[in-house]
Amino acid sequence: MNDKRPLPVIVDTTLRDGIQMPGTVLSFNDKTAILDRLVLLGIKEIEIGCPAQGSDAVTEIGRLCKRHPSIDCSTWCRARKTDILAAAATGVSTIHISFPVSDRHLAIRGWSREEMLRECTVLIEAARCRVSRVTVGAQDALRTDPDFLKLFVANASSAGAARIRIADTVGSATPQAVGRLITDLIASCPAAAFEYHGHNDFGLATATTLAAMEAGAAAVSVTVQGVGERAGNAPLEEVITAAVMLYGYSTGLCLAALSELCRCTSHGFHLPERPDKAICGTNAFRHESGIHCYGMLRDELAYQPINPATVGEMSRYSIGRQSGYSSLQAVLREQGLSVNRHQARSLWRKRHEP
């Protein structure tokens, strides 16, 4: 009997929030390559673009949606009816509308709290007339008056929002704060479903996303390798691997597809090599020190937390200043050459002979 908890819905927003990374221009082929690999991984909900960017974006989003009809494709809209009309023209099944909720963001828009709540109801109704599903976002939610945020949630839920995204827009929340907020919101509006959207400005996006999941969030949004504006978003590969391996969630995802997905995204986004990146970094499963290689030859989990094959990778070895003959033995084994400990020691000594 499998008593593991089901994984919350993973909403990938690489093709929307991810491409807001400064200097990023993805071709249509780059986007389809990433989309195809997300589908191979098993992601069922993908935020696929922003139709307000113009007619070319509307056409492209429509083409991407038709590529995988079984996937729930959504578009991100500002709280404007023109955006909703453009989104409806793409053929997506879900429209997501983002509303400013903090006083800081309301002031930028020039809305009072009351005006925003009225517009929220109007725009949700306008979107529901055009697509089968509408979700809304609470922009800058973690810097919003908690009582007003609860009022917004109740208002959006009553208007027919299928899910409400709680966005840590500037990545300034701690995991504890996110967990408490999600718990409080669920208690205040049990009928609502919540999604958490974390940014990585303090390097906490993975931790806050996992905290939201533990608090009962129905969904979390992520990007491959954490791509996005400023310091980026919660990295998909970190969130789902930690959720499964450390927190015990069950999943129908094909984790072995992660490595190729990350490589494909690196290519499309022209990402620089990041050796120490968790899960997908070039050194994530690479070993050099003699002590580590000695242990790895006897137990593959001696100095790594998971079997690399789980995420489509393999253990790798290299020779450097910290190496010993165990390192050489491991490198040779990686090349298909089997030498015993005595032979490796002999070869290592010859390496240092003048």
Is 274 a domain residue?
no
pLDDT at 253: 95
pLDDT at 348: 60
pLDDT tens-place string over residues 207-263:
999 999 999 999 999 999 999 999 999 999 999 999 999 999 998 899 999 999 999
Which two three-digit tokens encode residue 178? 């996110």
Strands (E), 172-284: 194-198, 219-222, 249-250
Is 9 a domain residue?
yes
Q: Give the span between the Cα atoms of 27 and 60, in whole angstroms.
A: 10
Whether the pLDDT of residue 25 is over 80: the answer is yes
Whether the pLDDT of residue 330 is over 80: the answer is no
Residues 246 and 295 reside in one and the same domain:
no
Domain boundary among 213, 237, 269: 269
Angle 90-91-96 from CA coordinates, rounded to 5°: 75
Q: Which helix (H) or strand (E) holds 30?
A: helix 28-41
Residues 217 and 322 reside in one and the same domain:
no
Is 336 a domain residue?
yes
Q: Give the span between the Cα atoms of 301 and 233, in whole angstroms.
A: 29
Q: Give the span between the Cα atoms of 189 and 329, in whole angstroms.
A: 60
Residues 107 and 167 reside in one and the same domain:
yes
Domain boundary among 219, 240, 269: 269
pLDDT tens-place string over residues 48-65:
999 999 999 999 999 999
Are residues 166 and 197 in contact, defined by beta-carbon separation less than 8 angstroms? yes
pLDDT tens-place string over residues 74-108:
999 999 999 999 999 999 999 999 999 999 999 99
Is residue 148 classed exposed, middle or buried when 0-12, 13-18 and 19+ CB atoms within 10 A define those classes? middle
Domain count, the chain: 2
* Confidence label for 8 from pLDDT (cuts 50, 70 and 90): very high
Are residues 239 and 12 in contact, defined by beta-carbon separation less than 8 angstroms? no
Q: Give the span between the Cα atoms of 212 and 190, in whole angstroms.
A: 16
Q: Give the span between the Cα atoms of 200 and 233, in whole angstroms.
A: 5
Is 280 a domain residue?
no
Residues 265 and 296 reside in one and the same domain:
no
Is 281 a domain residue?
no
**Average confidence (pLDDT) over 188-213:** 98
Computed over every residue of the chain, the mean pLDDT equals 91
Residues 121 and 240 reside in one and the same domain:
yes
Residues 262 and 305 reside in one and the same domain:
no
- Determine the distance from the C-alpha atom of residue 242 to the mean position of all C-alpha atoms in its chain, rounded to a whole number: 12
Are residues 35 and 67 in contact, defined by beta-carbon separation less than 8 angstroms? yes
Whether the pLDDT of residue 19 is over 90: the answer is yes
Q: Give the span between the Cα atoms of 344 and 351, in whole angstroms.
A: 11
Coil, strand or helix: which one is 1? coil
Are residues 261 and 231 in contact, defined by beta-carbon separation less than 8 angstroms? no
Whether the pLDDT of residue 325 is over 70: the answer is no
Are residues 332 and 321 in contact, defined by beta-carbon separation less than 8 angstroms? no
Residues 160 and 132 reside in one and the same domain:
yes
Is 275 a domain residue?
no
Is 151 a domain residue?
yes
For 154, list phi and psi in degrees, rounded to 5: -60, -40
Domain of residue 67, residue span: 5-269
Are residues 15 and 49 in contact, defined by beta-carbon separation less than 8 angstroms? yes
Q: CATH code at 119?
A: 3.20.20.70
Are residues 165 and 135 in contact, defined by beta-carbon separation less than 8 angstroms? yes
CA atoms within 13 A on the CB side of 223: 28
Coil, strand or helix: which one is 77? strand
Lowest mean pLDDT across 213-217, 325-329, 337-341: 325-329
Residues 91 and 218 reside in one and the same domain:
yes
